Structure 1
């Protein structure tokens, strides 16, 4: 009986430790993030001068990040009115090309990995997006296929979108929280 109590206490202690570490890392990410509408960016991503907590937080949510001199990452887990991005909803990501040499927009499942589906439509980029005559794009993110500008959210659950700006302009680096970024509008949910 005593061994069972000790084992239960050990399992409970480990569980509480893991959950509290995850909460602390989430808090660190949010405290260090710059906000721009639904988008968040961490200037510490890829920086050699990041502290150990920033590095741990980035390792959890920003695997294999390039240096901040090369790429600026924006992530959105909510739409423009603050509702979580959900697989069963359809979203329009509306905007124009961000001020960078190249950019991409990719969907990531809650585990920070690509959703496990066979749609071959998890990302769209500056060179593949279709624009209207004014240079504006409308990217559809949904679990239902769309023939134009589609990112699949099938098998993503609650997910996030990551907008990568490769070699962004100096203006983007000066004020990453106020540059013009795409809006994320929810159309409907199934």
Structure 2
């Protein structure tokens, strides 16, 4: 069952707009050539965007093999590959702005968009890096826009040891994982027993990164 969505008191604008990036993006260097960029409240009207995506995206559940059994993936999913029409014009705009901001550093555009719907605190994603494809051997970027209620995104060095970082993301926040982050660090959205509302994350990736 999906938890009731409670809008942010700080995001009362029904019109969806993007605030500037530029100097407002705060970069945190990590170990092994990885880094994180954070831009709080990048999307205004983010609660409106959450409701539109919740209601219009053709969400589906998946089942995957884990060890000796098949289990439900604890979140709903939708992936938009290159050339597919994104479900809302705001996502096209977001991708264009990200392309412009990161063009010199990334050297290529963001091509795909993966959407995850975390319905409540029982939905999650386990520790992983986006290492299917080029992310396993090359530096790259994954840009994540969060709309809906805040949930924790945690990061830790791959192989254990070192510090674990925690970011509460929602209501239009942007986080970008860059450099070697996908192959030298892992990230997760852990389950939580505390009451929390639903969240949607939109992950923009370059070609050949999953």
Coarse TM-score class (shorter-chain normalised): 0.3 to 0.5
TM-score (norm 2): 0.34
TM-score (norm 1): 0.37
The structure richer in strand per residue is: 2
